[in-house]
C-alpha cells in the first residue's frame, strides 16, 4: 500500500465478529435479543438500570473470557500504525478492547469502553473490570452517585469528535471496516472525508447501507480483507 499523507480508519462491530463478539444488527446479533430502546438509550437506563447493567455486565464478562482474542484484522491495523504512527487516526465504534490488545495505541473509542465506568455527574471515568451494580457509587462527588457504563447511547454525544473531524478534514484516505453505516455521526464520516477529497474505501462482509458513497469496495471477512489490504 502506498503511503498517503493522512489515513482515517473507522471500525465497527464486524471487525470483532471473528473474535467471537456479536455484532448488533445480524439475525443472531445483540439487538435480536434486546430492544435497542431498552438497553442503548438513557431513557431505557433510567427506566430499568438493573436490566441495562446486566446487559453490559454480561458483555464485560464475555470480553474477558480466555477465548476472546484480537484477530488478524486488528493485528494488521496495529502493524500499519507502527509503520506510519503520525499519519493514522484509528476510530472505533466498538467498546471492546481488541484494538488495544493487538497493539494499537492512538485509538479513539467514539462510543466508549466496556472496561470503564463513569460518574454521571462529574464525568469522571475509572477502570472497571467486574460487574457494575446500582450500589457501586462514585468517589468524586459530595453525594456519591451510582456509576454507569462508560458507553455512548442513542441521543448522547459521541466522544472525541473534535479530533475526529480534524482528522477527516486533512485525510486523503478513509477506510471503513465492518460497520453497517446505520448510526450517525459515524455514518456521515465517508461523506465528510469525500468532501475533503479523500479516496474512500469500504471493507465489509457485504455492501453496507452507505456502499454507493465509497470510491472502492471489497467484500469478505475482515480477518482476510484487512491484512490483504494493508500489508
State which residue, 88 or 153, has the beta carbon closest to ligand BJW.
Answer: 153
The span from the CA of 124 to the CA of 99, in Å, is 23
111 is catalytic: yes
The span from the CA of 120 to the CA of 149, in Å, is 9
- For residue 186, give the DSSP letter: G
State which residue, 32 or 141, has the beta carbon closest to ligand BJW.
Answer: 32
One of 74, 99, 111, 150 is an active-site residue; which one? 111
Picking from 198, 149, 146, the residue whose alpha carbon sits closest to that of residue 176 is: 198
As measured in angstroms, the least distance from the Cβ of 202 to ligand BJW is 9
Interface with ligand BJW (CB under 6 A): 12-14, 17-18, 23-25, 29, 40, 93, 95, 111, 151-158, 161, 178-180, 182-185, 204-206, 208, 221-222
Picking from 166, 177, 173, the residue whose alpha carbon sits closest to that of residue 194 is: 173
As measured in angstroms, the least distance from the Cβ of 222 to ligand BJW is 4
In sequence order, what DSSP letters do the residues of 126-139 get, joined into one string? EE--S---TT-B-S
**Torsion from C-alpha of 193, 15, 53, 187, nearest 10 degrees:** 20
As measured in angstroms, the least distance from the Cβ of 108 to ligand BJW is 12
**SS3 (DSSP) at 92:** strand
Nearest-CB residue to ligand BJW? 14
State which residue, 3 or 50, has the beta carbon closest to ligand BJW.
Answer: 50
As measured in angstroms, the least distance from the Cβ of 12 to ligand BJW is 3
State which residue, 6 or 149, has the beta carbon closest to ligand BJW.
Answer: 149
The span from the CA of 79 to the CA of 102, in Å, is 9
Backbone angles phi, psi at 193, to 5 degrees: -65, -40
Catalytically active residues, by annotation: 111
Amino acid at each position: 500500500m502506498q503511503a498517503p499523507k493522512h489515513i482515517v480508519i473507522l471500525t465497527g462491530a464486524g471487525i470483532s465478529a471473528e473474535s467471537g463478539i456479536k455484532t448488533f444488527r445480524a439475525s443472531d446479533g445483540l439487538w435480536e435479543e434486546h430492544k435497542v430502546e431498552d438497553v442503548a438509550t438513557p431513557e431505557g437506563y433510567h427506566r430499568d438500570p438493573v436490566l441495562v447493567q446486566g446487559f453490559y455486565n454480561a458483555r464485560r464478562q464475555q470480553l474477558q473470557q480466555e477465548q476472546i482474542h484480537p484477530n488478524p484484522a486488528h493485528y494488521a491495523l496495529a502493524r500499519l500504525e507502527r509503520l506510519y504512527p503520525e499519519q493514522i487516526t484509528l476510530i472505533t465504534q466498538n467498546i471492546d478492547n481488541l484494538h488495544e490488545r493487538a497493539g494499537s495505541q492512538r485509538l479513539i473509542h467514539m462510543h466508549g469502553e466496556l472496561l470503564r465506568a463513569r460518574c454521571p455527574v462529574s464525568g469522571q471515568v475509572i477502570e472497571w473490570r467486574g460487574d457494575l451494580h446500582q450500589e457501586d457509587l462514585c468517589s468524586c462527588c459530595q453525594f456519591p452517585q451510582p456509576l454507569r457504563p462508560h458507553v455512548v447511547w442513542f441521543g448522547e454525544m459521541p466522544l472525541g469528535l473534535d479530533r475526529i473531524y480534524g482528522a477527516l478534514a486533512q485525510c486523503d484516505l478513509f477506510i471503513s471496516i465492518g460497520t453497517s453505516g446505520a448510526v450517525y455521526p459515524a455514518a456521515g464520516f465517508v461523506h465528510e472525508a469525500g468532501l475533503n477529497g479523500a479516496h474512500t474505501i469500504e471493507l465489509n462482509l457485504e455492501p453496507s447501507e452507505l456502499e454507493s458513497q465509497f470510491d472502492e469496495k471489497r467484500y469478505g471477512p475482515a480477518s482476510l480483507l484487512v491484512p490483504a489490504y494493508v500489508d
